Structure 1
């Protein structure tokens, strides 16, 4: 029975962190984005995010945040959430599930402690911006 279950590999879909100017905070802030670099529309994209780890030797956990997008167009990105500076010191995890046609895709993306920073930025596919890609 288990051998009959096919779990497709997620390709060209990423969770990325992009630094942008915030008028609210009057500074550059980090935001998480769902980046669809495929030629297909992602349907019913659901993301559960959380951060966890140690700060000053003390265990810290954020609450889980849930996000849903009915459609994510091909070759585009949608903003998921603001990444507050304190959570950048923690492991940031994003569980992504979505459909292409009748096929469900699922992947966990991770940003390790302090991995979201200006030095770690690379050119991101499709959107012409720089950012940090989750692994």
Structure 2
């Protein structure tokens, strides 16, 4: 049963939506996975989707799966480009990975309108502005 499973606490990893650059016409944003651990993590898999209401209509984006492989300590990897048109939706990233043969998983949820200038910070390791969930 579920109560018999060990509680594997996810720590020292993050998802970030990062502003990579901008021109007068457009902003370029990318979603990153960041390994803040001091150890290797393996078989990193991320499932992403968006959902919510836009202009009074329920919207769901396609579910995408991204296999990132192994990430060394204190490194990051790009997951996907993200369009500003979906910032008004809930953007969900479901992460799973292994450390020493033990599986860990966690959902990271960027709520609608949470990716705004007021929430921007300098993202560790990437050193660019963005919104991060740890």
Settle same-fold status: TM greater than 0.5: yes
Report the alpha carbon displacement of residue 2 of structure 1 after superposing the two structures with TM. 4.2
DSSP-derived class of the 1:86 partner: helix
2-structure distance, mates of 1:111, 1:2: 27
1:106 alignment partner in structure 2: 105
* Unpaired segments ≥5 residues, structure 1: none
The alpha carbon displacement at 1:127 in A equals 3.6
**Partner of 1:117 in structure 2?**
116
- 2:22 is aligned with 1:5: no
Query: Which residue of the partner structure matches residue 56 of structure 2?
Result: 57
CA distance in 1, matches of 2:125, 2:20: 17
- Which residue is 2:84 aligned to? 85
User: Who is 1:29 aligned against?
Assistant: 28
Q: CA deviation at 1:27?
A: 3.8
Deviation of the 1:123 alpha carbon: 2.8
**Structure-2 residue corresponding to 1:66:** 65
Structure 2 residues not aligned, in runs of 5+: none
Give me the TM-score of the superposition, normalised by structure 2: 0.90
Cα separation, 1, equivalents of 2:7 and 2:129: 31
- How far apart, in 1, do the equivalents of 2:2 and 2:47 lie? 26
Output the aligned Cα RMSD. 1.9
Aligned to 1:19: 19
In 2, Cα distance between equivalents of 1:2 and 1:27: 46
